[in-house]
Amino acid sequence: MHIEQTTDRSYLVTTEGVNWTILADDTGVTLVDAGYPGDYAEVVDSLQQIGHSLDSVRAVLVTHAHVDHIGSLPQLLSKVSVPVYTSTEEARHARREYLQQATPLDVAKNALLPGILRWSMHIMAKGAMKKVAVPTATGVPLDVPLDVPGNPVPFLVPGHTDGHTCYLVGDVVITGDALCTGHMLSRTTGPQILPAFFDHDRVEHLSTLSTLASVAATVMHPGHGPVHRGSMAEAVEKALAGRH
């Protein structure tokens, strides 16, 4: 696990398999995403390493409700009672009114991708096959600051999932899996799009990247891979040029 402070109130926590973001101010902490089920201890440790604890958490935000982004939330929410917010559509996904996630069959069809065996073993060990839901997930208005630590502004970038939500926090944009900078299945580092089998609607995903390209942020917290610094327009352009 590596923690990088990118502004006075934002931290990107990167692990081998997935990332999460911590927003901290005088009122407490907002956690954005929460890793796999097996990442719970690291989520707690990451809070402690920046001088906080689970008791500091005032809210959890979700970019999208895949198991690698909400996996530790059931355990976390059993310890602290805090609201979980995302877009209205993604809240339905988090509550498991439906599921949009790559299946074992999707993985099997992509068995020749470099690194897929190592990745598969890693995610299995992290609890990827567990059934995870967040029944308390609630939709929030888009494009207005939320009254939680950091005051992030949610906006919709659908395609990876129908309700995939990104968050703008000053000069930082939290992109979830709409735009990443690395992955266990990738041989490169830098702005990129995950392999197509991870997307619920690839065509929509590619078309809505224009939303990210228009964001006036110069620091990107991706769902996978290291922090990226630079214009979002250039990041999207590079990702599209190298897409699978």
> According to the model, what pLDDT value does residue 177 have?
98
Cβ contact 239:192 at 8 Å: yes
Cβ contact 37:71 at 8 Å: yes
Q: Provide the 8-state DSSP code for 105.
A: H
pLDDT tier, 111 (very low <50, low <70, confident <90, very high otherwise): confident
pLDDT tier, 244 (very low <50, low <70, confident <90, very high otherwise): low
Fold of the domain spanning 2-241: Metallo-beta-lactamase; Chain A (3.60.15)
Q: How far apart are CA 73 and CA 37, in angstroms?
A: 8
Proportion of the chain above pLDDT 70, given as a percent: 99
Is residue 113 predicted with pLDDT exceeding 90? no
| Mean pLDDT of all residues in 57-61 | 98
Average pLDDT score, the chain: 96
Q: How far apart are CA 242 and CA 104, in angstroms?
A: 26
Query: What's the predicted TM-score (pTM) here?
Result: 0.96
Cβ contact 39:15 at 8 Å: yes
Domain ranges across the chain:
2-241
Is residue 228 predicted with pLDDT exceeding 90? yes
